[in-house]
Every structure is written in structure tokens, then in C-alpha cells.
Amino acid sequence: MDVAVGDYHTIALTEDGNVWTWGYGGKKGMFSWMYRQDVGALGHGGHEPHFVPHKVSFFEENGIKIKSITSGNYHCNAIDEEDRLYSWGRGLYGVLGDGSNSPNLSPKLNESMEAIKAETEGFENKIV
């Protein structure tokens, strides 16, 4: 089991490759962008808080097993068994790596990292 902590949330990875989160889900309303953690670090598709661990269903629903997790102040990352990166939470200042300043309320495959992996594939065997 692995655990990481953000400012108002916790993420845990169980031995079976499932991800669980709990804590503050974010602010709702017109001016939510003004608050420190405005959306989605829990990855459950909404803003509701969870005061006990709650499974992030996205991975199980899509048959994805996670091998590693990390957490920032207001976002989370997970790496699956095929080394694909998923990110969710507050996207301010581009921390999700998806080229935007927008939040993801549920895990989303980081396409930028997929492009980097494809571009650098086999690089370790090249002479510079």
C-alpha cells in the first residue's frame, strides 16, 4: 500500500492496483476559482467531500491497474501498469500537464506524456 497527501485530501494505492481518495472535494458555485482548492482532487467526478476512503471508480471501470501514485497540493497523479500517466484535480498553472489551466474532476490520460514517450522511445540506445 502507498499513500500520498495533498493540502486537503489523501490518496491511497492498494496492493490490487485500486486507488482510493478522501478529503475535501472543492468549492461549488460561481466564484469557486477564487478559493485555494476549487475542484476535483478526489477524482470522483464532482465536488462532494468524502470523509472516509472512497474508491476512484474510473480505473476499475476501465480495467486499469495502477502501480504508483503521487499528490500535489490540489491534484493527484497515477501511473498504470503500462506506464501511462493519469492526472486530475485543480489544473491551475498547468500542473496537470495537459496544456490547460482547467480542472479535471476525474482521472484523465495525460496525452502530452504519451507524445513524449513516443518521441523518446529507443533514445537510451542512441549515441549523442
pLDDT in tens, 7-36: 889 999 999 999 999 998 877 655 555 554
CA atoms of 86 and 80, how far apart (whole Å)? 8
Q: Considering its fold, how many domains does the chain have in total?
A: 1
3-state secondary structure 26-37: CCCCCCHHHCCC
Residue 127: pLDDT band (50, 70, 90) is very low
- Please give the C-alpha separations between residue 10 and each of 34, 77, 91, 113, in angstroms, as whole numbers: 22, 12, 17, 24
Do the Cβ atoms of 104 and 70 come closer than 8 Å?
no
- Residue predicted with more confidence, 118 or 32: 118
Task: Please give the model's pTM, rounded to 2 decimal places.
Answer: 0.84
20: domain range? 2-125
